[in-house]
Chains A and B, each alone.
Chain A
Amino acid sequence: MGKQQKSRVNDFVLKIANVNGTGSASANALLMKTVFRMGVPVSGKNFFPSNIQGLPTWYEIRVSKDGYLARSGAVDIMVAMNAQTYARDMQEVAPGGVLIYDSTWPRDRLLSRPDIEIIGVPLARMCNERFTNVRTRILMKNMAYVGVLAALLELDRAVIVELVKETFAKKPALIESNQQAIDLGFEYARANLPCPLPLRVKPLGKTAGHIMIDGNTAAGLGCVYAGATVGAWYPITPSTSLMDGFKSFCERYRKDPKTGERRYCVVQAEDELAAIGIVLGATWNGARAFTPTSGPGLSLMSEFLGYAYYAELPAVLFDVQRVGPSTGMPTRTQQADLLSAAYASHGDTKHVLLFPADPRECFELAVAAFDLADRLQTPVIVMSDLDIGMNDWMCRDLDWDPNYRPDRGKVLTAEELESAKAFHRYVDVDGDGIPQRTLPGVSPRGAYFVRGSGHNQYGGYTEDSAEYQQVVDRLAKKWETAAKLVPDPVIRRSRKGAAVGIVSIGSCDSAIEEALDRLAAKGIQVDYCRVRAFPFGKKVRQFLEQHERVFVVEQNRDAQLKTLLLAETQYPPARLTSILHYGGLPMDHRCVTEALEQYAAQGVAA
């Protein structure tokens, strides 16, 4: 029957199907963190509904000794806690896999599969017998499956005990009940089930020097370290936890313990139109300011983004992308705001974009975004996405250079203004397309009028063609300077002279890395350029030119990254091929592996 899977230690996918609002998040986090603390690389993806309570939700944990963090494309163990989705959850299990279900209630006989092992555990019954409170019974069912899995997968019980204590440190009463529930499951499994399974976890020692953190928290922390003092936002999924993170770090690091005074100001705005306005009001006054948002918010911010581009004000935005168009699927991931962000607003406008690939880069590029925005006096949009922003990723420890000082760009001081002959806001004094700016309240000699209407290089209103063009032509020159200042791409070369390359961005990275390893194992050599910024710098252009065929991997239907490459480089369109993944779930390696295998096969045939 092939039920018996060969032993797969530290290399499998565990998925938990649940109902949202039942407190499964802490149980799932506990499982993942246990694997992590056992030294085994792990990643967790949360597939949740746009809802508070009662709809299906899944959590997928990949245990990977090789350190692959993308989805694998298969599910080896399914914990089916949701009767609503039971049938489809069972179908998803790979042949030879395991399905664990709550056997408190009889299972429909039709719902069975001969090629997988089906394990029943009376989770609800055990919890109902042990706990009296109704809500507790529901919550503890989840902890009970943690115990079952601990026995089946040979998880380290001491680690679990420690994690339970940490998780509920603020509510000690919960430590005991949760531990009881875990033990219930554990003991049942030990007594009744074939423990351990061939699929299991063994301590490995490969997670030292790593943390598990989500991108929004890391980005919020980056804003603190960059010295941002003003944050303005309107709550929108999936960006909300970024501002939550910023606030909680500020409460910890920027609040006077005696007076309670805050060295920061967060304004929850009435809408995104106001959020971006607040950011611009603050940066006009020399504070570092930012706003986190997602696609619909970015659409609303467009008018002011064009203003900031033309009036030359810094701003940092985080677009934690979700599935569009329109409201789309707010709890699913995509990279489909590339074009609307790059050219947001009417008229000739272009914006600097940064593409982090994981939480560590969310932290680092958040800091870089503030430096670039100040240096270039223009908005910088950090293009994260739901997968990076809301899922916990294993990444290398964050580090900080104690010598870092913010680059505030060409801001004139009162002394500089006093000694200068004259100050003209939009004159290209240094030849790099970046003018000098002044801040209100500093000196009477620095006054100028910030305006979105036509202006000449002296900052005065104009309707004169030549004066207008002089300013917008300088802005184009500034754009060229931006291409020199933005972060370089990350390039992985297979061997010298690979004719085929992949160009991609952001959260496609882990799936592509896995694909490249698999392809290399089959003798298919491919180079890889992970673009980290728009405008594209010299190294991106060089990479394109060095390859006769380039596959562009991205998570949207319309090949938006490819469109940007076509619009902003001279690379021949016919030599670019798209690999698109846009269903809303994080991508796995298969679409990349298959496309390149196919291409390689064609090459051999030809």
Chain B
Amino acid sequence: MTSIAKPKIVHEGLKRNALGLTVRDYEGGMSTLCAGCGHDSITAAIVQAFFELDIPPHSVAKMSGIGCSSKTPAYFLSASHGFNSVHGRMPSIATGASAANRDLHLFGVSGDGDSLSIGIGQFTHALRRNLDMVYIIENNGVYGLTKGQFSASADVGSKAKRGEVNKQPPIDPVQIALALGGSFVARSFSGDKDQLVPLIKAGVRHRGFALIDVISPCVTFNDHEDSTKSYAYAREFNHRAIHADFVPPAVEIKAAYDEGEVLPVDMHDGSRVLLRKVAKDYNPGTRGSALEYIRARQRNGEIVTGLLYIDESEPDMHGVNATVAAPLNRLPYEELCPGRDALLALQKRFR
């Protein structure tokens, strides 16, 4: 993926986080995406989220597949290791990375082409494993790098730039995640940083698979009238059902809860997510009720956003496997090799 090196100038007054780092330390190379691309706003939100979380950049591993969205890991966290995998296969790389080093913050960026067509198998199975990672889908309904073909998330009736109308029903990653037991299911809009930044922070702190589907308009191929993934459409039909505020572990929560309106969720690391209902009738309590609400609004062309479902109690892949707490890649060889005596004893079985 292309990127242009960005000169690093740190102004004196620039705010520093608990690690003494500025937001510049969380940036990457200069984006080579089209001017106004929704993906760049998401990149900015990612930078801000990690800066505010006080996470050392080198403890993050950023991964992607192939496509415009998958180029973006070059544009944030330049001090993090990156893995630009093959098309649709980032979840398997993330699975292996997690298996080897469960201490890493795994951060995946994918697109609707990468995740919902060629990569739908890997996407759903990473979900099913409840792999401990953040998985962002930068969803614009088109294939950009190959010049504007519909993707599997394009809505019925949505018109392509050249006039073709999509007639196949869309695949909605949020509904898939709810149906398949996703433990953290969120949707946002690239133009809504207030909503997106706390969602990313909560996703990073969630233990398990945190899906954030972000409607991210393609200014070049899918931002016209009759597109349901345009800026104008997303702004008009964004239905913010539930807002998540992220509270880091050290901060005491003082705000009084308005019973029934704000729901605190304790994260495994001591941090807390406050769910604030925006739509009074939204019930995030069960997958079924969430799904039903989303489908009903979808029929009206509305895009329901927010932290739509969260279950912090589900075990992740390592929980199911009962893996030791120390990352496997740090176990000394002596703890892995049974030794000569064990080999000699074992062979009785084969005589």
B339 CB contact (under 8 Å) in A212, A280, A400: A400
Q: Which residue of chain B has the shortest Cβ distance to A218 in the bound complex?
A: B350
User: Known interface pairs A261-B323, A262-B322, A461-B1. Does A271 touch B101 (Cβ–Cβ under 8 Å)?
Assistant: no
- Cα distance A253–B340 when bound, in Å? 13
Of the stretches B55-63, B228-236, B296-304, the one at the interface is B55-63
| Contact digits for A383-410, partner B, Cβ 8 Å, 1 yes 0 no | 0000000000000011111101110000
B92/A449 in contact, CB under 8 A: no
| Contact digits for A211-241, partner B, Cβ 8 Å, 1 yes 0 no | 1110000000100110111101000000000
A227/B337 in contact, CB under 8 A: yes
- Cα distance A282–B333 when bound, in Å? 16
Q: Which residue of chain B has the shortest Cβ distance to A275 in the bound complex?
A: B92
Of the stretches B34-42, B78-86, B150-158, B167-175, the one at the interface is B78-86
Of the stretches B6-14, B188-196, B207-215, B324-332, the one at the interface is B324-332
Residues of chain B in range 22-54 having any CB-CB distance to chain A below 8 Å: none
Give the size range of A's interface with the partner.
35 or more
User: Known interface pairs A270-B122, A447-B80. Does A261 touch B58 (Cβ–Cβ under 8 Å)?
Assistant: no
B328/A441 in contact, CB under 8 A: no
B103/A441 in contact, CB under 8 A: yes
- Does any Cβ of A come within 8 Å of B3's Cβ? yes
A400 CB contact (under 8 Å) in B92, B333, B340: B340
Of the stretches A2-10, A56-64, A284-292, A510-518, the one at the interface is A284-292
- Cα distance A380–B207 when bound, in Å? 34
- Does any Cβ of B come within 8 Å of A413's Cβ? no
Residues of chain B in range 137-188 having any CB-CB distance to chain A below 8 Å: none
- Does any Cβ of B come within 8 Å of A468's Cβ? no
**Residues on A with beta carbons closer than 8 Å to the beta carbon of B323:** 261-265
B95 CB contact (under 8 Å) in A252, A260, A281, A398: A281
- Does any Cβ of A come within 8 Å of B125's Cβ? yes
A282/B324 in contact, CB under 8 A: no
A227/B336 in contact, CB under 8 A: yes
A281/B86 in contact, CB under 8 A: no
B58/A446 in contact, CB under 8 A: yes
- Cα distance A402–B341 when bound, in Å? 9
**Residues on A with beta carbons closer than 8 Å to the beta carbon of B79:** 444, 447
**Residues on A with beta carbons closer than 8 Å to the beta carbon of B85:** 277, 307, 452
- Cα distance A211–B336 when bound, in Å? 24
A212 CB contact (under 8 Å) in B82, B101, B336, B351: B351
**Residues on B with beta carbons closer than 8 Å to the beta carbon of A151:** none
B93 CB contact (under 8 Å) in A37, A280, A405: A280
A450/B328 in contact, CB under 8 A: no
Q: Residue among A254, A264, A274 with the most chain B CB within 10 A? A: A274
**Residues on B with beta carbons closer than 8 Å to the beta carbon of A441:** 58-59, 61, 81, 101, 103-104
B100 CB contact (under 8 Å) in A256, A281, A303, A452: A281
B324/A230 in contact, CB under 8 A: no
B1 CB contact (under 8 Å) in A36, A267, A453: A453
**Residues on A with beta carbons closer than 8 Å to the beta carbon of B124:** 270
**Residues on A with beta carbons closer than 8 Å to the beta carbon of B328:** 229-230, 263-265, 287
B322/A289 in contact, CB under 8 A: no
A366 to chain B, nearest CB (A): 13
Residues of chain A in range 439-472 having any CB-CB distance to chain B below 8 Å: 439-444, 446-453, 461
**Residues on B with beta carbons closer than 8 Å to the beta carbon of A279:** 96
**Residues on A with beta carbons closer than 8 Å to the beta carbon of B318:** 265
What secondary structure prevails in chain A residues at the interface with B?
Answer: mixed
A286/B329 in contact, CB under 8 A: yes
B331/A304 in contact, CB under 8 A: no
User: Known interface pairs A232-B96, A400-B343, A449-B84. Does A225 touch B337 (Cβ–Cβ under 8 Å)?
Assistant: yes
- Cα distance A286–B100 when bound, in Å? 7
B84/A448 in contact, CB under 8 A: no
- Does any Cβ of B come within 8 Å of A269's Cβ? yes
**Residues on B with beta carbons closer than 8 Å to the beta carbon of A442:** 58
- Cα distance A401–B340 when bound, in Å? 7
B81/A450 in contact, CB under 8 A: yes
- Cα distance A227–B336 when bound, in Å? 5
Q: Which residue of chain B has the shortest Cβ distance to A289 in the bound complex?
A: B96
**Residues on A with beta carbons closer than 8 Å to the beta carbon of B57:** 444, 447
B84/A281 in contact, CB under 8 A: no
A269/B100 in contact, CB under 8 A: no
A277/B99 in contact, CB under 8 A: no
Q: Residue among B2, B89, B125, B129 with the most chain A CB within 10 A? A: B89
A284/B93 in contact, CB under 8 A: yes
- Does any Cβ of B come within 8 Å of A273's Cβ? yes
- Cα distance A399–B345 when bound, in Å? 11
B96/A277 in contact, CB under 8 A: yes
B320 to chain A, nearest CB (A): 10
Q: Which residue of chain A has the shortest Cβ distance to B62 in the bound complex?
A: A449
Q: Residue among A212, A262, A271, A277 with the most chain B CB within 10 A? A: A277
A148 to chain B, nearest CB (A): 25
**Residues on B with beta carbons closer than 8 Å to the beta carbon of A260:** 322
User: Known interface pairs A262-B324, A263-B336, A439-B329. Does A229 touch B100 (Cβ–Cβ under 8 Å)?
Assistant: yes
- Does any Cβ of B come within 8 Å of A578's Cβ? no
B96/A405 in contact, CB under 8 A: no
**Residues on B with beta carbons closer than 8 Å to the beta carbon of A252:** 338
Q: Which residue of chain A has the shortest Cβ distance to B342 in the bound complex?
A: A253
B99/A230 in contact, CB under 8 A: yes
Q: Which residue of chain B has the shortest Cβ distance to A367 in the bound complex?
A: B337
B1/A265 in contact, CB under 8 A: no
Q: Residue among B61, B86, B89, B96 with the most chain A CB within 10 A? A: B96
Binding site for A on B (CB under 8 A): 1-3, 56-59, 61, 73-74, 78-86, 89, 91-101, 103-104, 121-122, 124-125, 129, 317-318, 321-325, 328-329, 331, 333, 335-340, 342-344, 346-347, 350-351
Which 3 interchain pairs have the tightest Cβ spacing? A281-B96, A277-B92, A287-B100
Beyond A224-B337, A440-B97, A448-B81, 12 extra complex contacts between A and B, CB < 8 Å: A225-B337, A261-B323, A273-B121, A282-B100, A284-B81, A284-B97, A304-B86, A307-B85, A307-B86, A406-B333, A449-B82, A450-B83
A-B contact pairs, 5 of them (CB 8 A): A227-B336, A270-B124, A281-B99, A444-B57, A447-B78
